[in-house]
Amino acid sequence: MSGLASDRESSRYAAWRRQFFVDSGVVMDKQVVVIGGGSGGAVLAHELTKAGFKNVTLVDRKDYFEVTYASNRVLVDPALGERQRMHYAKLLKCKFQHGEVAELEEKSVKLKDGSRVPFDFAIVATGASYKDLAYAKGWKTTTIVERKAEVSAEHERLHAAKEVLIIGGGPTGVELAGEIAFKFPDKSVTLAHGTDRLLPGLSPKASAVALKNLQALNVNVLLSKRLSKQDEAYKKADVVYTCVGYLPNTELMQASFASKLDKDGRITVDDKLRIYGYEHLFAIGDCANVAEGKQGYSAMMQAKTCTKNMVAVARGKPLKTYKTHPPGGIVSTGPKTGVAQTPLGITSVPFFINVKNKDLFIGMTYKSFGVAR
């Protein structure tokens, strides 16, 4: 950007701030709406409230928060779901609006029942979901009671199966294969992946460790194999889990902000996490086109930067640039093993793996909200 263009941008922002806000107290009284209560949205609503914003509203189609890292283990052990989920009303100190968003408008959120939630600032944190993997995030359920019943039914379906097929060898597919094979060693578990190694978002060494761990659990891993319903492995499976097609939940943008979506359907944001062209609209998490892995940890880090930028607006300070994180993370291959990729390298040492494996980050996540679980 040229110096002249940069000056114009700074001048435009300063003028916008002067027009709408007199001091930080005024900003803290403004209506802030967070759309979506997943890892990023719920953390953001909590952090904004903690930072002093007085009128924060979280809007979500479901009435509960869920630690989605744990969903694969909850599928094989539904009792863990009691720790995994909590009503937003108990978790957060801000206002909660239970409803499904139909459309984002420039100054309000339109719900599917026709009502509107007005705002001065809005942050889209609607995440992403698998089209055909209901147990993972409960996209068919709206209450915690319905979610419990849904997972219980999925568990019974799995329990009755003898042949299990998992399509997709990314983190979700790998972790699911490990959990099922460990819990039900009598079942035949096949994991089919379309490329020549598992976990393509991580290093080849991490892929090799994951493969070795799954094979030790007698998982039949098929690499460079794209299965269709006509394949024998598909036909003989009693249950099929499709862990591919992780698509952003950005339908709310189609009516008024379709031009702000990239070719993959994600919301285009600048390095301050603002939706391009808008000073009062932000987007974080899996629905945004931030150039880093689509993980809960990344969404939470974006939420913290977004909070700092909202505070910066309140104080008339420059906004902070979000710093992306290199590929990494911990991928479980059952409750006893896994692989971790860190800036220092690859490890499968239990000390590191158990950071996640002991409870799939349930305790750590709720602790960040100041809640014991």
At residue 8, the pLDDT reads 57
pLDDT, mean of residues 214-218: 99
23 pLDDT higher than 60: no
At residue 219, the pLDDT reads 99
pLDDT in tens, 312-326: 988 889 999 999 999
- Say if 89 falls within a structural domain: yes
pLDDT in tens, 116-142: 999 999 999 999 998 888 788 877 899
SS3 string, the chain, reads CCHHHHHHHHHHHHHHHHHHCCCHHHHHCCEEEEECCCHHHHHHHHHHHHHCCCEEEEEECCCEEECHHHHHHHHHCHHHHHHHEEEHHHHCCCEEEECCEEEECCCEEEECCCCEEECCEEEECCCEEECCCHHHHCCCCCCHHHHHHHHHHHHHHHHHCCEEEEECCCHHHHHHHHHHHHHCCCCEEEEECCCCCCCCCCCHHHHHHHHHHHHHCCCEEECCCCCCCCCHHHHHCCEEEECCCEEECCHHHHHHHHHHECCCCCECECCCCEECCCCCEEECHHHECCCCCCCHHHHHHHHHHHHHHHHHHHHCCCCCCCCCCCCCEEEECCCCCEEEEECCEEECCHHHHHHHHCCCCHHHHHHHCCCCC
- Say if 372 falls within a structural domain: no
Minimum mean pLDDT among 101-115, 135-149, 167-181, 213-227: which range? 135-149
- Say if 286 falls within a structural domain: yes
CATH number of the structural domain spanning residue 49: 3.50.50.60
- Say if 222 falls within a structural domain: no
Which residues form the domain of 51?
Answer: 27-133+246-314
- Say if 270 falls within a structural domain: yes
- Say if 262 falls within a structural domain: yes
pLDDT in tens, 4-16: 555 555 666 655 5
146 pLDDT higher than 80: yes
50 pLDDT higher than 80: yes
At residue 245, the pLDDT reads 86
pTM for this one?
0.90
- Say if 338 falls within a structural domain: no
- Say if 202 falls within a structural domain: no
Number of structural domains found in the chain: 1
288 pLDDT higher than 90: yes
pLDDT, mean of residues 338-353: 93
At residue 371, the pLDDT reads 93
pLDDT in tens, 157-172: 999 999 999 999 999 9
